[in-house]
């Protein structure tokens, strides 16, 4: 199932709301505007009627009674062609009719509209061959005079379809702009959430500092408070674990230190023929200590935080080889490292050092009769491979997997803690890398292959 995105969801809803609101506003605007326009059109109609009234005023004054028996053709002269032209100039789309005593005495144009015009005062609506017309009738001072002005009601025929056709392009453009602006606004609005995610993502595991709530919008406050509570609880748990391992380290190492010191003292004071026994005793104490070190390292690895940076792996190998040489007093081992220069890789330096210490320490102990140790650092595409090869007895294939697991001893008797390779394995897992044990094709010995991936920066 695809997980829903908060932004997309909000975007869809706001877009829908925007559309509904837009349509509603459009409808209201349309109704208001059409009412206003028809009111304006009616006012124009009334003005036109008044103009006609003015035009016929003088003729009526001249001899209204004389017209009674004359044929309509003569009376039509009441509105001169000049006057009719002036009317058409002002009210292009209007027609007018003048009735005297119920008979039409003057008119502009002819045809269906003229015949169908209602001979009534006031505003009327009528139909001519399916088209809506609007008329206005007014009486003169002499009630026998009736002036009717009519006009095709074009506005009411202005259909919504046509409106939409005309508005389509600007509306679509407006909509597109609104969508883009809306998306941008939403992304900006949710920027704080993204910022929170990136801040938390960039934190190392050990950074349990509470987030300052005043630096965040009020809406995020419950989340920030919940996170801070979680941080506090984790911190408590880490501290407890840390205190416990410190305690274990102290409690186990102190008696061991006493045993070792006693053995050394014994060695100095005892007759020469006991030297071998006291040396063995010291060796046993050292082995127990190595075991404690290994267990503590494993326990601490579980609560380790990763801080990746660019590391000179060659220098790290040099440091580890020096440490192991000093620690093991390995006098005659020939160590060779390839290449001879800086090799940089992006990873957690202390974890890699733990893995290298474990693997190189193990290899030095088991360097074997060949007394040779070959270390190679190879940068490949997207990964770094470090191989550590010794000339010791090697490890039989069925045992290799088992040795990488916790608290298991190889069958070899030696001063190793038996945890070295499992410590290395754990460290490599935390580094997102891997460890592999192989036999050597060119003779006896063990090849340990550490692979590190390229981390996203």
Partner 1 sequence: MPRLLLAEDDADLGPTMRRALEMEGYVVDLVTRGDDACAAARADNYDVILLDIGLPHGSGIDVLRSLRAAKNATPVIIVTAFDRTQQRIAGLDAGADDYVVKPVDLDELAARVRSQLRRRDGRGNEQLTIGAVTLDFAGNVVTLDGQVVPLTAKEHRLLALLMRRARRFVSKADLEAELYDQDNWAESNTVEVAISSLRRKLGRDFIRTARGLGYMVGAQAA
Number of CB atoms found within 10 A of residue 62's CB: 10
Per CB under 8 A, 306 contacts partner 1: no
> What does the alpha-carbon distance between residue 309 and residue 299 come to, in Å, rounded to a whole number?
24
Nearer to partner 1, 50 or 300 (CB): 300
CB of 193 to partner 1, least distance (A): 34
Q: Which stretch binds partner 1 (CB under 8 A): 42-50, 105-113, 219-227, 321-329?
A: 321-329
3-state SS class at 43: helix
Radius of gyration of the chain (CA): 51
Three-state DSSP state, 447? strand
Binding of residue 194 to partner 1 (CB under 8 A)? no
How far is the C-alpha of 175 from the C-alpha of 19, rounded, in Å?
A: 9
Of the ranges 25-33, 54-62, 158-166, 324-332, which one interacts with partner 1 (CB under 8 A)?
Answer: 324-332
- Among 256, 303, 378, 455, which residue interacts with partner 1 (rule: CB under 8 A)? 256
- DSSP readout, 283-316? HHHHHHHHHHHHHHHHHHHTT----EEEEEHHHH
- Could you tell me if 98 and 78 are in contact, meaning their C-beta atoms sit under 8 angstroms apart? yes
The DSSP output letter for 130 is T
Cα 374 to Cα 45: distance, rounded to the nearest angstrom: 108
CB-based burial of residue 263 (10 Å sphere; 0-12 exposed, 13-18 middle, 19+ buried)?
buried
Taking Cα atoms as reference points, which of 328, 320, 386 lies closest to residue 353? 320
Looking at the DSSP assignment, which residues form a beta bridge with residue 123? 136
Beta strand ranges found along 342-395 (DSSP E)? 344-348, 372-380, 383-390
Query: Is 253 near partner 1 (CB under 8 A)?
Result: yes
Interatomic CA distance for residues 117 and 136, integer angstroms: 10
| Structural element, H or E, at residue 443 | none
Paired tokens of 107 = 């008119």
The answer to the question of residue 326 lying near partner 1 (CB under 8 A) is yes
The one segment of 36-44, 100-108, 150-158, 315-323 that binds partner 1 by CB under 8 A = 315-323
- Using CB under 8 A as the binding criterion, the count of chain residues that bind partner 1 stands at 39
Q: Candidates 115-123, 141-149, 270-278, 316-324 — which segment interacts with partner 1 by CB under 8 A?
A: 316-324
Tell me how far, at minimum, the Cβ of 301 lies from partner 1, in Å. Answer: 13
How far apart (Å, rounded) are the C-alpha atoms in residues 100 and 333?
136
| Closest distance to partner 1 from the beta carbon of 237 (Å) | 17
Out of 72, 322, 344, 402, name the contact with partner 1 by CB under 8 A. 322
Least Å from the CB of residue 374 to partner 1: 9
Select from 82, 214, 273, 329 the one that contacts partner 1 (CB under 8 A): 329
The interface region with partner 1, picked from 106-114, 171-179, 186-194, 314-322 by CB under 8 A, is 314-322
In the complex, minimum distance from the CB of residue 256 to partner 1, in angstroms, rounded to a whole number:
5
- Tell me how far apart the terminal alpha carbons of the chain are, to the nearest angstrom: 30
Binding of partner 1 at residue 375 (CB under 8 A)? yes
358 counts as binding partner 1 under rule CB under 8 A: no
Judged by CB under 8 A, which stretch of 255-263, 380-388, 415-423, 443-451 contacts partner 1?
A: 255-263
Asked, as a colleague might, if the bond just before 339 is cis with ω within 30 of 0, I would say yes
Could you say whether residue 317 binds partner 1 (CB under 8 A)?
yes
- In whole angstroms, the minimum distance from the beta carbon of 181 to partner 1 comes to 52
Q: What character string, x for contact with partner 1 (CB under 8 A) and - otherwise, covers 335-354?
A: xxxxxx--------------
286 closest CA partner among 294, 275, 297: 294
84 is a site residue for partner 1 (CB under 8 A): no
Q: What residues numbered 261-300 form the site for partner 1, per CB under 8 A?
A: 261-262, 264-265, 268, 285-286, 289, 296, 300
DSSP 217-242: -GGGHHHHHHHHHHHHHHHHHHHHHH
- For partner 1, give the closer residue by CB, 218 or 268: 268
Q: Is 223 in the site for partner 1 (CB under 8 A)?
A: no
From the CB of 189, what's the least distance to partner 1, in Å?
A: 42
Q: Could you tell me if 402 and 408 are in contact, meaning their C-beta atoms sit under 8 angstroms apart? A: yes
Question: Looking at 53, 260, 365, 426, which residue binds partner 1 (CB under 8 A)?
Answer: 260
246 touches partner 1 by CB under 8 A: yes
Among the listed residues 15, 46, 325, 349, the single contact to partner 1 using CB under 8 A: 325
Nearest to 250 by CA among 284, 282, 294, 296: 296
Q: What are phi and psi of 99, to 5 degrees?
A: -110, 135
Residue 389 or 410 with smaller CB distance to partner 1: 389
Should residue 209 be labelled a site residue for partner 1 when binding is judged by CB under 8 A?
A: no
Which residues form the interface with partner 1 (CB under 8 A)? 246, 249-250, 252-262, 264-265, 268, 285-286, 289, 296, 300, 317-319, 321-322, 325-326, 329, 331, 334-340, 375
């Amino acid at each position: 199932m695809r997980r829903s995105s908060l932004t997309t969801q909000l975007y869809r809803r706001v877009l829908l709301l925007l559309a509904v609101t837009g349509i509603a506003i459009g409808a209201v605007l349309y109704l208001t505007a059409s009412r206003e326009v028809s009111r304006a059109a009616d006012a124009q109609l009334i003005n036109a009627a008044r103009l006609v009234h003015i035009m016929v005023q003088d003729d009526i004054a001249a001899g209204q009674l004389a017209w009674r028996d004359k044929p309509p053709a003569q009376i039509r002269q009441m509105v001169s062609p000049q006057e009719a032209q002036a009317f058409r100039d002002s009210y292009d789309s209007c027609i007018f009719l003048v009735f005297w005593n119920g008979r039409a005495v003057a008119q502009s144009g002819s045809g269906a509209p003229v015949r169908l015009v209602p001979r009534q005062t006031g505003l009327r609506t009528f139909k001519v061959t399916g088209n809506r017309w609007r008329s206005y009738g007014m009486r003169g001072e002499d009630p026998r005079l009736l002036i009717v002005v009519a006009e095709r009601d074009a506005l009411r025929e202005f259909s919504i379809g046509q409106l939409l056709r005309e508005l389509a392009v600007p509306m679509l453009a407006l909509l597109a702009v609104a969508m883009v602006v809306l998306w941008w606004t939403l992304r900006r609005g949710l920027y704080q959430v993204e910022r929170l995610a990136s801040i938390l993502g960039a934190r190392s595991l050990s950074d349990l500092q509470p987030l300052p709530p005043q630096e965040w919008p009020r809406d995020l406050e419950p989340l920030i408070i919940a996170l801070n509570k979680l941080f506090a609880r984790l911190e408590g748990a880490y501290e407890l674990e840390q205190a416990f391992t410190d305690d274990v380290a102290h409690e186990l190492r102190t008696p061991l230190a006493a045993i070792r010191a006693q053995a050394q003292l014994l060695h100095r004071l005892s007759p020469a023929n006991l030297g071998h026994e006291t040396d063995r005793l010291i060796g046993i104490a050292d082995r127990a200590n190595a075991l404690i070190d290994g267990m503590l390292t494993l326990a601490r690895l579980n609560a380790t935080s990763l801080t990746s940076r660019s590391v000179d792996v060659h220098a790290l190998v040099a440091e580890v080889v020096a440490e192991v040489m000093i620690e093991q007093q390995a006098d005659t081992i020939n160590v060779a490292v390839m290449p001879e220069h800086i090799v940089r890789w992006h990873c957690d330096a202390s974890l890699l050092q733990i893995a290298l210490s474990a693997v190189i320490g193990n290899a030095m102990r088991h360097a074997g009769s060949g007394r040779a140790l070959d270390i190679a650092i190879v940068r490949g595409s997207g990964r770094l491979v470090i191989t550590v090869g010794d000339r010791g007895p090697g490890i039989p294939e069925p045992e290799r997997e088992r040795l990488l697991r916790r608290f298991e001893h190889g069958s070899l008797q030696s001063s190793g803690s038996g945890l070295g390779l499992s410590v290395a394995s754990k460290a490599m897992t935390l580094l997102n890398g891997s460890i592999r044990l192989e036999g050597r094709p060119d003779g006896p010995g063990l090849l340990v292959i550490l692979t590190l991936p390229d981390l996203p920066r």
